[in-house]
Amino acid sequence: MTEPVLTFTDRGIYCPAGDFFIDPWRPVDRALITHGHADHARPGHTHYLATDAALPVMRHRLGEITAQGIAYGETRQIGGAQVSFHPAGHIPGSAQIRVEVAGEVWVVSGDYKTTPDGLCEPFEPVRCHSFISECTFGLPVFKWHDQRSVASEINAWWAANRAAGRFSLLGAYSLGKAQRLLSLLEPQGPILTHGAVEATNAILRDQGYTLPDTTHVTPALNPKEVPGALVIAPPSALGSQWARRFRPASTGFASGWMRLRGIRRRRAMDRGFVISDHADWDGLHAAIRDTGAENIYVTHGYTDIFARWLNERGWNAQVVPTEFGGEEEDSAPAEAAE
Ligand SMILES: [Zn+2]
Ligand SMILES: [Zn+2]
């Protein structure tokens, strides 16, 4: 029997024919990386390969790395495997990785979202025999609304806060979500950013992604001079001393997890905006169907439930253990398990 194109090891997803790993969680010689989030792009590998669009943020986060870039759709031969990277629609630069060995094709989705957001490269279905799919939001309760309607909710919230003389403090993950929200805002006054968000903004602007003007919050900034401003910061910063200079304020949080009422309540935010950089229930199914794959391996999220659902509908699905999750929207907040 010939070896599978990809295998699951304790260091990560491995390709024996090409002797490389995809998004490995322990240091390896050659790592192909789907995108810059910390659970996928980890430090310590000898060689990195990622899309040209993903590399600048990876270099910023990982420091000195030996890395090569690859264009979307470009094919490269690594040992006995042919690899190419295709847009995953998750965050700018994110990719699904296609691996072909002797005519058999496997695709690793990384994290993905099937609906275009106007900022990152739109998701592209890739035909394959076996598909390794994330399923962060693999429950029927997760159905996203059109992003235009979420954008108008956020813009209306900001306008109402301004009218009432309040700041709008919006919690969003610093890579991906923050920039997507920025691109959806109708400028109605100053937009201020936490350092973690602004550093990423600067890198993406340099790459040619279009973002509105933002002002980095420094100690010199006097909140009185920017009344009614909207402030974007990572969720962890919102409850900290850093955020206390902006008073009075209304707080909001933007995440797919805001779909769950219990989590909304526990986060003690004034507003929860349901918007995610991962596929919802319907998006996961559409993506899986469009690959034409017979074999589906599911990772991170509601894996057991999702694999069972697929098996009942004729796919050959199984759960594979990975160590993804832990950054950004990837992992369910502890409250989701209750
Ligand atoms: Zn991610
Ligand atoms: Zn992830």
- Note the pLDDT of residue 187: 86
The ligand whose atoms approach the alpha carbon of 136 most closely is 2
Reported as a single tens digit per residue, the pLDDT across 19-76 is 999 999 999 999 999 999 999 999 999 999 999 999 999 999 999 999 999 999 999 9
Distance 328 CA to ligand 1 centre (A): 7
For residue 227, say if its preceding peptide bond is cis, omega within 30 degrees of 0: no
Written as six digits, the tokens of 266 are 């526990």
Written as six digits, the tokens of 279 are 């596929």
- Note the pLDDT of residue 332: 61
Distance 111 CA to ligand 1 centre (A): 5
Q: pTM for the whole thing?
A: 0.95
Closest-CA residue to 97 (of 81, 83, 114): 83
DSSP 311: H
- Note the pLDDT of residue 334: 54
DSSP 136: T
The ligand whose atoms approach the alpha carbon of 23 most closely is 2
Q: Which residues pair with 192 in a beta bridge?
A: 215, 231
Distance 160 CA to ligand 1 centre (A): 32
> Within a 10 A sphere around the Cβ of 169, how many other Cβ atoms?
24
- Note the pLDDT of residue 333: 60
- Note the pLDDT of residue 330: 61
- Note the pLDDT of residue 336: 53
The ligand whose atoms approach the alpha carbon of 277 most closely is 1
Distance 110 CA to ligand 2 centre (A): 7
Alpha-carbon radius of gyration of the chain? 20
Distance 36 CA to ligand 1 centre (A): 7
DSSP 236-251: HHHTSGGGGGS-SEEE
The ligand whose atoms approach the alpha carbon of 134 most closely is 2
Distance 215 CA to ligand 1 centre (A): 26
- Note the pLDDT of residue 269: 83
Distance 330 CA to ligand 1 centre (A): 6
The ligand whose atoms approach the alpha carbon of 39 most closely is 2
Within the chain, which residues score under 50 in pLDDT? 337-338
The ligand whose atoms approach the alpha carbon of 301 most closely is 2
Mean pLDDT of the chain: 94
The ligand whose atoms approach the alpha carbon of 331 most closely is 2
Distance 114 CA to ligand 2 centre (A): 15
CA distance 120 to 267: 28
Distance 118 CA to ligand 1 centre (A): 18
306 in helix, strand or coil? Answer: helix
Distance 165 CA to ligand 2 centre (A): 38
- Note the pLDDT of residue 326: 63
- Note the pLDDT of residue 338: 38
